[in-house]
Amino acid sequence: MPVLALVLFVAFVLLAGVARALIQQRRNDDTGIRARASIPAQQQARSVLVTGTVLVGIAAPVADLVGLDAIGFLDHTAVRLTGAGIAVLTLILVLGAQSAMGASWRNDVDPEESTALVTGGPFALIRNPIYTATLVFVLGIALVVPNYLALVGGAACLLGLQLQVRRVEEPYLRRVHGSPYHQYCASTGRFLPVIGRVRVPEAEADQSA
């Protein structure tokens, strides 16, 4: 099913990338695309993430087409179809979470901007629903073409998203939003509900008591 994996990957790029930018432009007169990552940590995270997505979305399906063996215990039609279903579902979740961000959606952090803090909808459950859904989408593609290139690519995507969130976005949001963001982090998990909540700084906890 490597062709299906390629189709799903292209659909992700077109819908979550190109179409999202066009919708942002129409609704907010701003595509939300920030092509120049001026933060070194963001450049590193982007490089790792792009490498991972290319491995999973392009290299692994092409390798499958030319005969690279799948990982034995995953090489079953049921596993591949399950992966395709996961990919379709999580693509829908990515699009929904992007829509929930409204005018605050950006493809990268611009340190000179200050966008509204979004805590409603899917963001009330976890702080990074777009990234969580994206990572599960990658897992779905990896199950459609379950070879070692997909495995390595999935690991790279996980690392890239962790770097982006922990070293780029969280420091930026703490600086821009201060106490409201700290309170949000204390009550909401990072990638999964409850897990990854961050303790509020003691000084702020005393003020809110």
Residue pair 141/8 in contact (Cβ under 8 Å)? The answer is yes
For residue 86, tell me if it sits in a domain: yes
Token pair of 17 as six digits:
């990338």
For residue 109, tell me if it sits in a domain: no
Token pair of 116 as six digits:
């509204």
pLDDT band for position 37 (50/70/90)?
A: low
Measured CA to CA, the distance from residue 7 to residue 30 in angstroms comes to 28
CATH number, domain with residue 158: 1.20.120.1630
Q: Which residue has the tokens 């509900």?
A: 193
Q: Element (H or E) spanning 99, and its range?
A: helix 77-101
For residue 111, tell me if it sits in a domain: no
Residue pair 121/100 in contact (Cβ under 8 Å)? The answer is yes
Ramachandran category for residue 33: left, alpha or beta (phi over 0 → left; psi -120 to 50 → alpha) = beta
For residue 161, tell me if it sits in a domain: yes
User: Residue 208 pLDDT more than 60?
Assistant: no
User: The domain containing residue 153 runs over which residues?
Assistant: 2-26+39-104+116-208
For residue 110, tell me if it sits in a domain: no
Look at the chain and report how many structural domains it folds into: 1
Token pair of 93 as six digits:
């979740």
Hey, is 106 helix, strand or coil?
A: coil
Residue 113 is predicted with a pLDDT of 86
User: Residue 130 pLDDT more than 70?
Assistant: yes
Please list, in sequence order, all residues whose beta carbon lies within 8 angstroms of the beta carbon of residue 99, skipping any fewer than 6 positions away.
23
Q: First and final CA of the chain: distance in angstroms?
A: 57
Hey, is 109 helix, strand or coil?
A: coil
How many C-beta neighbours within 10 Å does residue 119 have? 14
For residue 141, tell me if it sits in a domain: yes
Q: What is the pLDDT of residues 140-198, one digit of tens each?
A: 999 999 999 999 999 999 999 999 999 999 999 999 999 999 999 999 999 999 898 98
Q: Tell me the mean pLDDT in the region 88-114.
A: 92
For residue 72, tell me if it sits in a domain: yes
Measured CA to CA, the distance from residue 172 to residue 168 in angstroms comes to 6
For residue 152, tell me if it sits in a domain: yes
